[in-house]
Amino acid sequence: MNLVSSKSKKIFLCSDTKINETSKVDIILSPEFYWVRIFDIPVKNISQARAVVPTLFEDLLQDVTDLSYQVIKLETNKYLCFAYINQKIYEAIKQSGINLSLVNSIYFAQNECKNFKQFYVDDKSFLYTQDEILVKIPKELLSEKVDLKNYIENINLSANRVDIKLYSNFLTSKQINMILAFCLIFIVINFSKYFIYSNEISNLDKKMQDIKISNNLPNSMIQIDSIISSNKKIAQKEINKREAIYYILSNNDFEIKNIELQNDILNIDFLNVNGKKLEEYISKKYKIISTNSSNLISNIKVQL
């Protein structure tokens, strides 16, 4: 840890600090950027303590929505607990002017400045209370005027780095929770629709099977399609026959004595008609197979 830190310049970051560096830096965060308390928590380890820390800070802070937490074990059942807003620290570092890629590590001043009971940085002053908590105070309350900048490079940084993300959070925790809730609702709705559709498809399959059984239809859809196709052809032929009969009967110029339908052949006897005119009319739409005239009767056979 110290070997790595020795290669980086140390910066004590306040809310209005400007950093003009082109090499790697280690940043020590002013108490302006975090809340810190010592809590008595009857648990065995840091993981268990971290689980209850948010609840403890709820009693101290009005809004804990965007807080992140870090816990250090001091002794049995006693923990040093930090709460901070990742986005606030990110914005302060960004506004300081330093290239984010040059930030090596970030630390809480609480852990790094213990050798200086009271000090100031620029126009801001700090001291450790009787409970060993570093706080910001008015400069007039300092009994010793120690400029931390003169000694900051001598600080041996601890192993307690701040777990922080140096990128912008475009969404707040509330917005993320709202999106997650919406996604959950969306999933539930779609699952319900899938369940309903699945039941409907199952019911349709059952109805189709009942129809097949009641109409003595084969199970194979290929066979059913073949039957439907065949029936369509038969139906179309019947339609064609009706259209032909209607076409011939609808002309009042021709008197029909007798009409017979044999398969696809229409056999018609006309009484006292102009044979040429009759043939011209019928041949416009249908094929005449044969014609025969006897006395006043003209017989025509038409292919449908």
The per-residue pLDDT for 206 is 79
- Ranges assigned E (strand) in the chain: 9-13, 25-29, 34-40, 67-75, 78-85, 103-108, 118-121, 124-128, 134-137, 256-262, 265-271, 287-294, 297-303
Q: How far apart are CA 60 and CA 40, in angstroms?
A: 15
pLDDT at 28 over 90: yes
Which has the minimum average pLDDT: 118-122, 167-171, 259-263? 167-171
- State residue 280's pLDDT score: 87
Backbone dihedral angles phi then psi of residue 277, each to the nearest 5 degrees? -65, -40
Contact partners, residue 90, CB within 8 Å, separation at least 6:
164, 165, 166, 167, 168, 169
Residue-wise pLDDT for 192-251, tens only, equals 888 888 888 888 877 777 776 777 767 677 877 777 787 888 888 888 888 888 888 788
Please compute the mean of the pLDDT values over residues 21-40 and round it to a whole number.
Answer: 94
Kindly give the pairing relationship between strand 67-75 and strand 256-262.
Answer: unpaired
Alpha-carbon distance of 57 to 81, in angstroms, equals 9
Q: Taking 80 as the threshold, does the pLDDT of residue 149 lie above it?
A: yes
Q: Which of the four pLDDT bands, split at 50, 70 and 90, describes residue 174?
A: low
Give the pLDDT of residue 78.
94
Half-sphere exposure for 3 (CA within 13 Å, toward CB):
0
With bands split at pLDDT 50, 70 and 90, how would you rate the model's confidence at 94? Answer: very high
- What is the per-residue pLDDT for 3? 41
pLDDT recorded at residue 4: 42
Give the model's pLDDT for residue 23. 92
Residue % of the chain over a pLDDT of 70: 93
Q: What 3-state DSSP class applies to 7? A: coil
